[in-house]
Structure formats: C-alpha cells, structure tokens
C-alpha cells in the first residue's frame, strides 16, 4: 500500500508515534510518505520505502497568519497524484484532519478516491480542539474521516463527551518498539551522571503547563531530603525556566540536570531508577511507556489514559493530580528498598510488552483495509 502520513514533526508524542508507525509500516513492505513542514525528528531513515515531502508556506505580508492548512491540502493533492498514494493517515486532528478532508474533496473532483484515517492524540481534543474557536471544525473533520482512532479509551470517552460525534471511534493504543538483542542500549555510563549511592529520577516532556513541572521539582526536593538522588529533566518548553529558578530557590540546582531536547532518550532511561509524570491531563503518556520499556517504574497522576498504561502497584504508583505528598511517599516506597525497586523495574518492563509495536501495527493495517473498502463501496 502507498500510505501518506501527516503529523507534527516535533519531539511531541503524536509525532513520535506517527514516525515510528511509518517506519514499521515500511518494514511490512508499504511505501510510506511523510508529508509535513519538516523532517520528523525521529525519522533518521529515508530509504526506498520511506519518503519525506516538505510542506512549505511562503511568507506573504498581507497575511497576519500564514495559511498552513491551504499549503498542506494542496501538497497532499499533489503528492497523492504524483506517488499514487492509496490512503492518508493523519495524526492530530488540528488542522491535519481538516486539511486532509479538503484534499479528499479536491481529488474527488478528478475522480480519485482518497480514504482518510484520523488518529486523535489528546490535546487536539482535550485542550485545544474543544475550544469554542475550533470545536465545530474539529467535530466536522472527525465525522468526515473514513476511520477514526484514539490512543486510549479515556480519550475516546473525552471525545464523545466533548463533541457531537456520529462516527465510530476505535481505540488503538500507542506502542513501543521493544529493543531486543544488539539494539538494546546497555552502555549506561551511569557514573557520569550520579554517584553509586544516588538514585536517578527522570522526567521527559515538552515542559508545557499541563505537565505540572513545578510538582516534579517539589517531589524531587522532598525525595532528596530523605535519600541521595539526582533529577534528569529532558525537554524544552515554557515551564523550563521557571523550573530552573525554583531549583535555585530550593538550593537543589546542583542535583538537577536540564538536558534540553534529546535524541538519546534510551541512554538516559538506561540509568534511570524512577520516572515522574504528574500531568494535569494525559491522553496516554507515551513518555511513561518509553520509560517502562527500559525497565523504569513510573510515579504518575491517575488522570486521563495514564492508568491504562501505568498499572497501579505493578509498573508504578498513581496519585491524584497535584498530590505532591502522596507522590513523594510513593516514590520513596519504591526507591528506598532495593528489592522493591527491582520488582517494580521488572514489572514495568513486563507491562510494556502489552504495547509491542508488532501487536499494534496490524491493527492499523486492518483499519486501512476496511477504510479503503468502505470508500470503494460508496
């Protein structure tokens, strides 16, 4: 199949999922075309089956806002015709599902049928999409997609609660490519980051307010009062600077390392003992799953889709949003005892196997097949 993938090419979870899905589909013999405004950050492999087509938006001074949706839908039309793309899989409803529907209508005028599969990722529904300024267009493009998937049951429930949805939504969870054999990262170099007696705690995100970054700093501050520990903060975003200032104020700046965005997530997770994810809302929590797949237990909030990934008492422990005291208590429970830590580590890894990419990609392939059949039969 020739599959077009539209996504945000950034470090965000939706872009990572779209990229890794595309790469895996290419290994199944599909020809995959990424159509986006820059090459996805996790896409280091372009080959005979993996292609990248850049959407450029020329600047014009008349426009206060440059019309990205217009440029994207035009590019989609051109690429579908040039590469005989059979189906478009768009990740993140705004504005991708909307632009894809416009492309579908334009192609229809020329007798070309283009099935659209839309995957909802979270903030396109919960934070941004349900805003009154976008709501009608988001509902419209979800209802006009030929197939719709959401990354968790919780996100499906949110979508049905927030929008007037007439289309079916299928839950296809996010996934992880489990590293096996030669590809597994083993050269941890832990001693560069911390002393042998120190526990290493990590957080990875886009440092937006929804991640409750200051909760992480307060939880870590409480932990390091009880046991020797270091905190690794990975990512870039608006809450990074306030977090750095809070560390200075609390006198723990020497124990907290801010990495910025990193392509060496596996290396950092390899020497991590505990992952913190106290988010306000999270449709899935891909970063938690990535940690679990490296054998790192997770202390998280119990919001949104997180409980579908981080199993309380098994792969980690969950608390109410903002309950810093409970998250501290839970973190210390795991970190203070070598045997408990070891059990949580192996449970975390075992739980992550439920999200093996090899189990999930066939679900998308089946959805593609039925979306194509549905379009042909209309």
> What gap in Å lies between CA 210 and CA 113, rounded to an integer?
39
- Write out the two tokens for 302: 């119990």
User: Quick one: 86 or 308, whose CB is closer to ligand GMT?
Assistant: 308
Distance, CA of 136 to CA of 32 (rounded, Å): 31
Shortest Å, Cβ 346 to ligand GMT: 23
Task: Give the residue at shortest CB distance from ligand GMT.
Answer: 122
CB of 155 to ligand GMT, least distance (A): 7
Nearer to ligand GMT, 57 or 128 (CB): 128
Q: Which residue from 377, 357, 375, 304 is spatially nearest to 117, judged by alpha carbons?
A: 375
Nearer to ligand GMT, 174 or 330 (CB): 174
Q: Which is nearer to ligand GMT, 67 or 237 (CB)?
A: 237
3-state secondary structure of 34: strand
CB of 218 to ligand GMT, least distance (A): 20
Shortest CB 341 distance to ligand GMT, Å: 25
Would you say 41 or 375 has its CB closer to ligand GMT?
Answer: 41
Q: How far is the CB of 327 from ligand GMT (least distance, A)?
A: 18
Q: How far is the CB of 119 from ligand GMT (least distance, A)?
A: 8
Interface residues with ligand GMT (CB under 6 A)?
12-14, 17, 92, 121-123, 126, 151, 174, 206, 208, 210, 281-286
Nearer to ligand GMT, 24 or 86 (CB): 24
- The closest alpha carbon to 121, from 262, 4, 236, 16, belongs to 16
Helices marked H in 56-162? 68-83, 93-109, 135-144, 153-162
50-54 and 87-91 beta bridge pairing: unpaired
**Residue with the two structure tokens 């013999």:** 29
What are the E-state strand segments in the chain? 2-6, 31-36, 50-54, 87-91, 116-120, 147-150, 169-171, 199-204, 229-234, 256-260, 274-277, 298-301, 316-319
Q: How many CB atoms lie within 10 A of CB 11?
A: 21
Closest CA to 310 of 70, 318, 32, 361: 318
Q: 21 or 76, CB closer to ligand GMT?
A: 21
Shortest Å, Cβ 273 to ligand GMT: 22
């Amino acid at each position: 199949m020739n599959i077009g993938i539209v996504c945000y090419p950034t470090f965000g979870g939706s872009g990572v999922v779209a990229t890794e899905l595309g790469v895996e589909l290419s290994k199944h013999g599909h020809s995959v075309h990424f159509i986006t405004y820059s090459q996805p950050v996790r896409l280091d492999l372009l080959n005979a089956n993996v292609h990248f087509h850049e959407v450029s938006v020329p600047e014009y001074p008349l426009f206060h806002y440059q019309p990205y949706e217009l440029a994207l839908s035009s590019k989609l039309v051109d690429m579908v015709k040039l590469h005989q793309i059979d189906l478009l899989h768009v990740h993140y409803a705004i504005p991708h599902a909307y632009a894809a529907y416009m492309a579908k209508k334009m192609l229809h005028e020329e007798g070309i049928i283009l099935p659209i599969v839309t995957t909802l990722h979270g903030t396109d529904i919960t934070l941004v999409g349900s805003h009154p300024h976008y709501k009608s267009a988001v509902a419209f493009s979800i209802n006009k997609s030929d197939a719709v998937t959401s990354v968790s049951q919780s996100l499906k429930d949110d979508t049905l609660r927030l929008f007037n949805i007439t289309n079916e939504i299928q839950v296809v969870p996010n996934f992880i490519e489990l590293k096996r054999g030669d590809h597994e990262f083993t050269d941890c170099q832990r001693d560069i980051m911390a002393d042998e007696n120190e526990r290493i705690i990590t957080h990875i995100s886009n440092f937006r307010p929804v991640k409750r970054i200051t909760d992480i700093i307060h939880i870590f501050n409480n932990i390091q009062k009880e046991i020797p520990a270091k905190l690794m903060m990975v990512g870039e975003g608006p809450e990074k600077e306030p977090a750095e200032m809070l560390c200075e104020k609390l006198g723990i700046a020497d124990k907290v390392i801010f990495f910025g965005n990193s392509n060496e997530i596996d290396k950092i997770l390899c020497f991590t003992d505990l992952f913190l994810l106290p988010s306000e809302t999270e449709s899935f929590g891909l970063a938690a799953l990535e940690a679990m797949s490296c054998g790192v237990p997770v202390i998280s909030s119990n919001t949104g889709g997180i409980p579908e990934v981080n199993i309380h008492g098994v792969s980690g422990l969950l608390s109410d949003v903002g309950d810093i005291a409970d998250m501290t208590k839970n973190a210390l429970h795991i970190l203070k005892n070598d045997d408990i830590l070891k059990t949580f580590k192996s449970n975390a890894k075992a739980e992550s196997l439920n999200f093996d990419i090899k189990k999930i990609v066939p679900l998308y392939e089946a959805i593609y097949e039925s979306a194509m059949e549905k379009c042909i039969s209309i």
